[in-house]
């Protein structure tokens, strides 16, 4: 239960980190350490080199900026600690879904250290920040030897715990296009205990016009499959319709057809059931939070 021997590197710039990443044999990046350290202690990973990103300046920030795609976006540095997201007034005001998701991440002790970038790259299918990024159409930026590359979050999870990053690339920033003020949102999860990984989790966003017609909807599910799922079929059923509990129930039933996974925590049928129930509840909650 002790980390295996490795060489430790603490670069001061992204360029230095990328060059270490592309030249060293069998390296591993250390962000907040809340996933990598347990894996090292249990020797699930045996890197020859650990590259600590903690001393690189300029990777921890939370700000709002105009986005190329129109409107404003929230920009978050990859090394921003989860606690700083939890207590950010900007995030609470502009993207409350992210705050709701973060409150379900581990415990205070782990959020003090854990980073959003670390969680996205670890890419646990039940991870809350991953789910919020997927629901919010985040765009992540990776730095590599040939410069930077923007990756829409839908294309980021390639397979179980496998991000769309080359071995010599590292995540440096996350951009989340903001939904209009007054949008509805909800983050719900079912876990055995507070702070545990979710058996199933759901993130929902809703924009509704003055007549109650759904203009835009986003629904994403975590914990059900090897990668988090964006529920396009549910969204298609909602958009253009008048928001109502019957509509939500009807749309949420689509989740019963998900190709869910079974493990020691839950069977396929139970996950499908939870997905449908939590999706319906999340939509009801999101609608209640819409402010016009």
Residues lying near another protein in the complex (CB under 8 A): 1-8, 10, 30, 33-34, 37-38, 40-42, 50, 52, 54, 83, 106-110, 112-113, 193-195
* CB nearer to another protein: pick between 108 and 242: 108
Do 212 and 288 touch, CB atoms closer than 8 A?
Answer: no
User: How would you class 260 by CB atoms within 10 Å of its CB: exposed for 0-12, middle for 13-18, buried for 19 or more?
Assistant: buried
* CA nearest to 115, candidates 161, 82, 75: 82
**What is the nearest approach in angstroms of another protein to the Cβ of residue 42?**
6
* CB nearer to another protein: pick between 63 and 108: 108
3-state secondary structure of 76: strand
**What is the nearest approach in angstroms of another protein to the Cβ of residue 119?**
14
**What is the nearest approach in angstroms of another protein to the Cβ of residue 133?**
23
Distance separating alpha carbons of residues 183 and 204, to the nearest angstrom: 11
- DSSP per-residue letters across 162-220: EES--TT-EEEEEEEEPPPTT-EEEEEEE-SSTTSPPSEEEEEEEEE-TTSBEEEEEEE
* CB nearer to another protein: pick between 2 and 68: 2
**What is the nearest approach in angstroms of another protein to the Cβ of residue 201?**
17
**What is the nearest approach in angstroms of another protein to the Cβ of residue 270?**
24
User: How would you class 278 by CB atoms within 10 Å of its CB: exposed for 0-12, middle for 13-18, buried for 19 or more?
Assistant: buried
Spatial neighbors of 244 by CB under 8 A, at least 6 apart, are none
Q: Which helix (H) or strand (E) holds 158?
A: strand 157-159
* CB nearer to another protein: pick between 50 and 282: 50
**What is the nearest approach in angstroms of another protein to the Cβ of residue 196?**
9
Do 37 and 29 touch, CB atoms closer than 8 A?
Answer: no
* CB nearer to another protein: pick between 55 and 63: 55
* CB nearer to another protein: pick between 41 and 146: 41
């Amino acid at each position: 239960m002790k980390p295996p021997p490795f060489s430790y590197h603490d670069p001061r710039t992204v360029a230095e980190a990328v060059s270490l990443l592309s030249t060293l044999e069998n390296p591993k990046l250390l962000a907040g350490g809340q996933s990598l350290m347990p894996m090292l202690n249990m020797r699930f990973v045996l890197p020859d080199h650990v590259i600590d990103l903690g001393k690189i300046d300029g990777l921890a920030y939370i700000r709002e900026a105009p986005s190329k795609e129109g409107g404003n976006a929230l920009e978050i540095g990859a090394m921003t600690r989860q606690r700083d997201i939890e207590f950010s007034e900007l995030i609470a005001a502009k993207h409350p879904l992210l705050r709701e998701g973060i409150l379900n991440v581990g415990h205070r002790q782990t959020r003090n250290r854990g980073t959003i970038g670390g969680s996205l790259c670890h890419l646990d299918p039940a991870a809350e920040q991953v789910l919020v990024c997927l629901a919010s159409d985040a765009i992540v930026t990776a730095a590599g030897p040939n410069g930077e590359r923007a990756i829409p979050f839908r294309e980021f999870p390639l397979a179980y715990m496998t991000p769309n990053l080359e071995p010599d690339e590292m995540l440096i920033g996350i951009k989340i296009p903001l939904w209009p003020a007054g949008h509805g949102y909800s983050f719900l999860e079912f876990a055995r205990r507070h702070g545990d990984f979710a058996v199933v989790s759901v993130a929902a966003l809703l924009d509704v016009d003055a007549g109650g017609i759904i203009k835009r909807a986003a629904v994403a599910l975590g914990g059900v499959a090897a990668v988090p799922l964006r529920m396009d079929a549910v969204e298609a059923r909602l958009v253009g319709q008048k928001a109502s509990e019957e509509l939500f129930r009807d749309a949420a039933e689509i989740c019963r057809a998900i190709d869910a996974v079974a493990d020691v925590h839950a069977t396929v049928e139970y996950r499908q059931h939870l997905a449908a129930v939590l999706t319906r509840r999340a939509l009801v909650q999101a609608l209640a939070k819409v402010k016009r």
